[in-house]
């Protein structure tokens, strides 16, 4: 499944685009709207993006896990060499490696909790100025249909990108953008 990113100038335009997409047969759970006024989105019964979608917790946690795997191997090797010949060396090495991996994963998640999701980082300034971003999860068979529908009915919606709906820990910038309250 691919995700198409659309920039719209305000919440009213985003609401119109969401209604168009829903009428075209896209389920509401596949339409994610990012805007700085969550209360206005709730009043309009729009599918407001969840905090998991807004924050980079999962993505940064996955990066932390990758770093943690390397750190776990390094810590386990060092302890194995330092405690060579001791009868509990294997158990201590495995435990220390698991602690190192868990800490790195936790730290990555905490860093991600204070950062924008890597998919919406490029649109941070647009959202902060009152604009809206719609990310539509599209099955491969409906991709051209959605592109044509949005281009025909909402030419003001700028198609700004394409991404995968599966998190890729190496995608995005390695310098996370600090999340500011919109």
The reported pLDDT for the residue numbered 175 is: 67
Whether residue 113 contacts residue 54, with contact meaning beta carbons closer than 8 Å, is answered with: no
Asked whether residue 97 carries a pLDDT value surpassing 90, the answer given is yes
181: pLDDT confidence band, cut at 50, 70 and 90?
Answer: low
Question: What is the pLDDT averaged over residues 146-173?
Answer: 86
Q: Which residues contact 27 (CB under 8 A, 6 or more apart)?
A: none
The reported pLDDT for the residue numbered 109 is: 93
Tell me which of 6-10, 47-51, 119-123, 127-131 is least confident: 47-51
Question: What is the pLDDT averaged over residues 13-28?
Answer: 90
Q: How far apart are CA 87 and CA 51, in angstroms?
A: 47
Whether residue 166 contacts residue 74, with contact meaning beta carbons closer than 8 Å, is answered with: no
State the residue for tokens 């389920």. 27
pLDDT tens for each residue of 40-81: 888 888 877 888 888 889 999 999 999 999 999 999 999 999
143: pLDDT confidence band, cut at 50, 70 and 90?
Answer: confident
Report the first-to-last Cα separation within the chain, whole angstroms.
29
Tell me which of 48-57, 76-85, 99-108, 122-131 is least confident: 48-57
The reported pLDDT for the residue numbered 45 is: 82
Q: Average per-residue pLDDT in the chain? A: 88
Question: What is the pLDDT averaged over residues 136-159?
Answer: 88
Asked whether residue 122 carries a pLDDT value surpassing 80, the answer given is yes
Question: What is the pLDDT averaged over residues 93-111?
Answer: 95
Whether residue 94 contacts residue 76, with contact meaning beta carbons closer than 8 Å, is answered with: yes
Global pTM? 0.80
Whether residue 176 contacts residue 112, with contact meaning beta carbons closer than 8 Å, is answered with: yes
Q: Which residues contact 125 (CB under 8 A, 6 or more apart)?
A: none
The reported pLDDT for the residue numbered 49 is: 80
The reported pLDDT for the residue numbered 170 is: 80
């Amino acid at each position: 499944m691919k995700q198409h990113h659309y920039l719209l100038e305000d919440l009213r335009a985003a609401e119109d685009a969401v209604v168009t997409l829903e009428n075209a047969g896209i389920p509401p759970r596949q339409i994610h709207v990012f805007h700085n006024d969550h209360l206005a989105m709730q009043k309009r019964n729009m599918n407001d993006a969840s905090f998991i979608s807004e924050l980079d917790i999962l993505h940064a946690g996955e990066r932390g896990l990758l770093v943690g795997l390397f750190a776990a191997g390094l810590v386990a090797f060092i302890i194995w060499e330092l405690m060579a010949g001791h009868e509990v060396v294997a158990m201590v090495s495995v435990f220390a490696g698991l602690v190192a991996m868990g800490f790195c994963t936790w730290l990555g998640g905490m860093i991600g909790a204070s950062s924008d999701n890597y998919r919406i980082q490029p649109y941070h300034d647009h959202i902060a100025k009152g604009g809206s971003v719609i990310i539509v999860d599209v099955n491969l068979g409906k991709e051209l249909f959605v592109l044509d529908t949005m281009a025909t009915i909402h030419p003001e919606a700028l198609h700004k990108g394409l991404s995968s709906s599966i998190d890729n820990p190496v995608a995005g910038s390695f310098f996370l953008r600090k999340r500011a309250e919109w």
